[in-house]
């Protein structure tokens, strides 16, 4: 297997707040290969977005990386200078943010905003930029791009704005695309169209794609591999088929049981008792132990690691299913 | 079953500011003398000729994409907005005649309650959970501290599974699931007959969604309420509702029992909606995708199907003739020219 494009190893991130140190990520590892869509799934507060922001080098200054490494196509992101990262972002690695309406500048036309990315990374004059922007709009299937290029974000629907965000992210043909909940707040019909587009483009361009979502059903549809996160830990990491066929971590199994998926009745779905633990102060080695019904003495022994239990199936649990 | 709520030909048009001839002073002056002077302003047809009914103890699902008029319909039904025309009959009384601003004084106000969309946003940040739940009891039932307000709030909190210790907390001190419980307790405090739930779980994590859904089912059984369940999460609607209405651009395009809508949808839009529900890998099904955006809701052509242009089966006739309401069974209606043909095709296959 070729080397992964993005490799996160033993990454720990903490936030120093007035009320204590929040250990948002602890020893998380994952790989994203070219042409692969990796879904990162978990409840809100599980550290999905923090991982993505750290990988892009745009973590909030309040966050501190305490250990680990992030390798992006040979570049060590954590030690790279800001200048190098500015060259990398947009060109090698791009990100699609949640809620396109707030991520776009409301008082500039969408054409200008996409053009910004091109002008920053490519030596181009006004005419070629405009042509490239129109091309970018065509790739994300916006009808009538010649006219839409001069539109403002408020003149477009939510789905169109999200397409603009995608066009912006993909305009310089990045090798890595990180999509942070790209369809929250969109309709199911629009969601399906946007997700189809992301999948088609990432296969077409052989991009490495990281899809952050809380919707396990959607991840099942679009991802090749799924990383399940809980309270700043990666608890399970497996190919989509393996994961759905036989989830090994109790949290993954419970998450599947809690997701409504069409058939079956309300009795078939079960919620997960309790909430995420407070990430300040002392935490047990397995952060799920407080909510887990398979908890035993052995779970309290320190140094729980993410191990490969079968080929390509990683698990961090002492009492797996 | 007795009908609790009957809606007939309900319409809501919003004028587009400053457009069209009758926005002028002369026209509005003329209209002040004669009601029959037509309003020629450009109109946004948010809800256009919607009719349906809810029986006692029934839960009805309302689905459709954003901008299709769900929220406007909910605002009119809960009497927070006035309607342009049409009738809303609630337990035998026409409540559409009451202006929205004075509806709070009507007895129906406490019988028709609503659980608003986002529990994080819809709670008053300066009210404790106790204050929020107590407010409708004070306003609508005239309960005071003396006449057992605290006991009633305590009982409600228990009913929705909110620990009594949390009643003194402000919204920012509560989790999403707890806020949802406060919201529900507030709505059921005045023992409504009809509870309108506007996307009650869309802002919640999937881990707590199931508890809230189960709570809603339990409350419905215990209190004998009817539900109007508005959502775009079809997987959730399927779990909770007896009957489903599908809206598209202000009109009802399909209506029927839940299982039929999901297993045997007739309207092409409902089919696309079904195909777009995530989790398709868990179910088998071919992908049917809609292209483009819906038509403009401003003065739509009355003699054409509003889905035309996006519809995968649309033909010429759809742009010339408004689709008829075809009844596949007594309860299953779809508004489309091609429903019968499709149904027979499905049979042939």
Mean pLDDT is lowest, of A26-30, A183-187, B58-62, B159-163, for A183-187
CB B282 within 8 A of CB A261: yes
- Compute the 3-state secondary structure of chain B and give helix, strand, coil in percent, each to the nearest 5: 35, 20, 40
CB–CB contacts below 8 A, A to B: 114
From chain B, the residues in CB contact with A159 under 8 A are: 293
Do A211 and A289 share a structural domain?
A: yes
DSSP state of A149: T
B198-237 pLDDT, tens digit per residue, is 888 877 888 888 888 999 999 999 999 999 999 878 888 9
The shortest C-alpha distance from B140 to chain A (Å) reads 34
Residues A303 and A220 in one domain: yes
CA distances from B261 to A156, A219, B251, B255, B329 (A): 31, 25, 17, 8, 12
Same domain, A131 and A223: no
Comparing A220-229, A255-264, B55-64, B141-150, the range with the smallest average pLDDT is A255-264
**pLDDT at residue A183, as a whole number:** 84
What is the predicted ipTM?
A: 0.77
Domain ranges in chain B with CATH number 3.40.50.300: 1-14+43-241
Each residue's pLDDT tens digit, A42-81: 888 889 999 999 999 999 888 999 999 999 998 999 999 9
* A203 and A59 assigned to the same domain: yes
Residue of B nearest to A223 (CA): B281
Residue A15 and residue A120 in one domain: no
E strands along B258-314, which residues?
none
Among the candidates A124, A149, A173, a domain finishes at A173
Say if residues B227 and B220 touch (Cβ distance below 8 Å). yes
| Fold topology of B1-14+43-241 | Rossmann fold (3.40.50)
Nearest to B66 among A187, A196, A258 (CB): A187
Position B24 scores a pLDDT of: 61
pLDDT digits (tens, 9 = 90+) for B155-198: 999 999 999 999 999 999 988 889 999 999 999 999 999 999 98
Nearest residue to B176 (alpha-carbon basis) of B210, B213, B201: B201
pLDDT at B21: 55
Q: Which of B 161-200 lie inside 8 A of A, CB atoms?
A: 175
Nearest to A221 among B206, B235, B280 (CB): B280
Counting as low any pLDDT under 50, the low residues of chain B are: 281-285, 344, 347-349
Same domain, A69 and A142: no
Shared domain check, A120 and A68: no
CA distance A135 to B315: 31
Q: Angle CA(B254)–CA(B256)–CA(B258) in degrees, nearest 5?
A: 115
- Rounded Cα–Cα distance for residues B288 and A217 (Å): 18
Task: Looking at the structure, tell me whether residues A156 and A239 fall in a common domain.
Answer: no
A229 and A250 housed in the same domain: yes
Residue A297 belongs to a domain: yes
Partners of residue A272 in chain B, C-beta under 8 Å: 207-208
Looking from the CA of A138 toward its CB, the CA atoms found within 13 Å total: 7
CA B216 vs CA B130, B211, B233: distances in Å: 20, 9, 16
Residue A315's pLDDT band (cuts 50, 70, 90): very high
Looking at CA atoms only, how far is residue B133 from chain A in angstroms?
24
How far does the CA of residue B245 sit from the closest CA of chain A (Å)?
16
CB atoms within 10 A of CB A86: 14
Query: d(Cα B305, Cα A239) in Å, to the nearest integer?
Result: 44
Residue A1 lies in a domain: no
Q: Which of A108, A139, A173 is the last residue of a domain?
A: A173
- What CATH code is carried by the domain that includes residue A16? 3.40.50.300
SS3 string, B189-236, reads CCCCCEEEEECCCCCCCHHHHHHHHHHHHHHHHHHCCEEEEECCCHHH
Quick one: tokens of A74?
């040979």
pLDDT value for B31:
67
Which two three-digit tokens encode residue B144?
């005071």
Angle between the B176-188 and B129-141 helix axes, to the nearest 10 degrees?
10
Q: What are the tokens at A159?
A: 């789905």
Residues A166 and A180 reside in one and the same domain: no
Residues of B in contact with A271 (CB under 8 A): 207-211, 214
Give A177→chain B minimum CA distance, Å.
21
Distance CA A223, CA A238 (A): 11
Of all helices (H) and strands (E), which one includes residue B48? Answer: strand B43-55
Are the CB atoms for A210 and A40 separated by under 8 Å?
yes
Q: In this structure, are A167 and A196 located in the same domain?
A: no
Asked whether residue A206 falls in the same domain as residue A300, the answer is: yes
Q: Do A43 and B205 touch (CB under 8 A)?
A: yes
- Residue A22 resides in a domain: yes
User: CA–CA distance from A304 to each of A235, A286, A298, B283 (Å)?
Assistant: 10, 7, 10, 36
Sort out which chain A residues have CB atoms less than 8 A from B66's CB and list them: 158, 187
Number of domains in chain A: 2
How does DSSP classify residue B96?
Answer: T
DSSP letter for A269, please: -
| Residues A32/A6, Cβ–Cβ less than 8 Å | yes
User: Which of A150, A173, A196 is the endpoint of a domain?
Assistant: A173
The rounded Cα B251 to chain-centroid distance in angstroms is 12
State residue B333's pLDDT score: 92
Identify the domain containing residue A108 by its residue range.
Answer: 100-173
Averaged confidence pLDDT in chain A: 89
Rg (CA), chain B: 22
């Amino acid at each position: 297997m070729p080397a992964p494009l993005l490799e996160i190893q033993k990454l720990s991130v903490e936030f120093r707040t007035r009320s204590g140190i929040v250990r948002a990520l602890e020893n998380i590892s994952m790989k994203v290969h070219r042409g692969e869509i990796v879904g990162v799934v978990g409840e809100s507060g599980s550290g999905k977005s923090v991982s993505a922001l750290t990988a892009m080098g745009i973590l909030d200054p309040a966050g501190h990386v305490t250990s680990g490494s992030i390798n992006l196509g040979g570049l060590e992101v954590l030690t790279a200078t800001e200048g190098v990262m500015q060259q990398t972002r947009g060109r090698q690695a791009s990100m699609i943010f949640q809620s396109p309406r707030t991520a776009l500048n409301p008082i500039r036309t969408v054409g200008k905003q996409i053009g910004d990315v091109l002008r920053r990374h490519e030596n181009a004059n006004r005419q070629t930029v405009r042509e490239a922007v129109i091309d970018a709009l065509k790739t994300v299937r916006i009808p009538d791009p010649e006219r839409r290029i001069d539109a403002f974000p408020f003149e477009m629907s939510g789905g169109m704005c999200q397409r603009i965000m995608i066009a912006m992210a993909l305009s310089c043909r990045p090798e890595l695309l990180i999509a942070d909940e790209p369809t929250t707040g969109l309709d199911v019909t629009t969601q399906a169209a946007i997700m189809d587009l992301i999948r088609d483009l990432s296969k077409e361009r052989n991009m490495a794609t990281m899809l952050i979502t809380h919707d396990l059903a959607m991840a099942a549809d679009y991802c090749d591999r799924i990383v399940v996160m809980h309270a700043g830990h990666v608890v399970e990491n497996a190919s989509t088929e393996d994961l759905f066929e036989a989830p090994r971590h109790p949290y993954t199994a419970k998450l599947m049981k809690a997701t409504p998926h069409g058939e079956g009745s309300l009795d078939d779905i079960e919620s997960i008792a309790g909430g995420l633990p407070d990430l300040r102060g002392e935490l047990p080695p397995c952060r799920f132990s407080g909510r887990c019904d398979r908890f035993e003495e052995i779970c309290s022994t320190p140094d729980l690691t993410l191990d490969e239990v079968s080929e390509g199936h990683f698990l961090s649990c002492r009492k797996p299913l | 079953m007795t009908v609790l709520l009957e809606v007939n030909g309900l319409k809501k048009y919003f004028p587009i500011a400053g457009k069209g001839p009758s926005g002028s002073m002369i026209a509005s002056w003329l209209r002040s003398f004669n009601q029959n002077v037509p309003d020629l302003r450009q109109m946004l047809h948010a809800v256009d000729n919607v009719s349906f009914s809810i029986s006692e103890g029934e839960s009805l699902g309302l689905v459709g994409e954003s901008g299709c008029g769900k929220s406007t319909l909910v605002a009119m039904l809960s009497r927070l907005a006035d309607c342009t025309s049409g009738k809303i009959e609630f337990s035998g009384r026409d409540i559409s005649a009451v202006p929205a601003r004075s509806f709070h004084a009507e007895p129906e106000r406490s019988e028709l309650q609503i659980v608003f969309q986002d529990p994080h946003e819809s709670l008053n940040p300066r009210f404790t959970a106790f204050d929020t739940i107590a407010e409708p009891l004070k306003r609508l039932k005239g309960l005071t501290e003396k006449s057992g307000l605290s006991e009633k709030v305590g009982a409600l909190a228990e009913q929705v599974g909110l620990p009594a210790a949390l009643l003194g907390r402000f919204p920012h001190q509560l989790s999403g699931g707890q806020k949802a419980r406060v919201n529900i307790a507030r709505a059921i405090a005045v023992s409504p007959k009809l509870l309108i739930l506007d996307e009650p779980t869309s802002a919640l994590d999937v881990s707590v969604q199931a508890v809230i859904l189960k709570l809603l089912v339990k409350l419905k059984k215990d209190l004998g309420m009817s539900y109007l369940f508005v959502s775009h999460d079809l997987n959730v609607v399927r779990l909770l509702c007896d009957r489903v209405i599908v809206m598209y651009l202000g009109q009802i395009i399909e209506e029927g029992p839940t299982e039929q809508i999901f297993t045997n949808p007739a309207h092409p839009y409902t089919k696309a909606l079904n195909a777009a529900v995530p989790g398709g890998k868990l179910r088998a099904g071919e992908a049917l995708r809609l292209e483009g955006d819906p038509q403009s809701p401003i003065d739509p052509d009355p003699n054409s199907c509003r889905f035309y242009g996006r519809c995968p089966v649309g033909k010429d006739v759809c742009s010339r003739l408004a689709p008829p309401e075809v009844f596949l069974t007594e309860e299953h209606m779809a508004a489309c020219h091609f429903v019968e043909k499709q149904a027979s095709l499905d049979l042939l296959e």
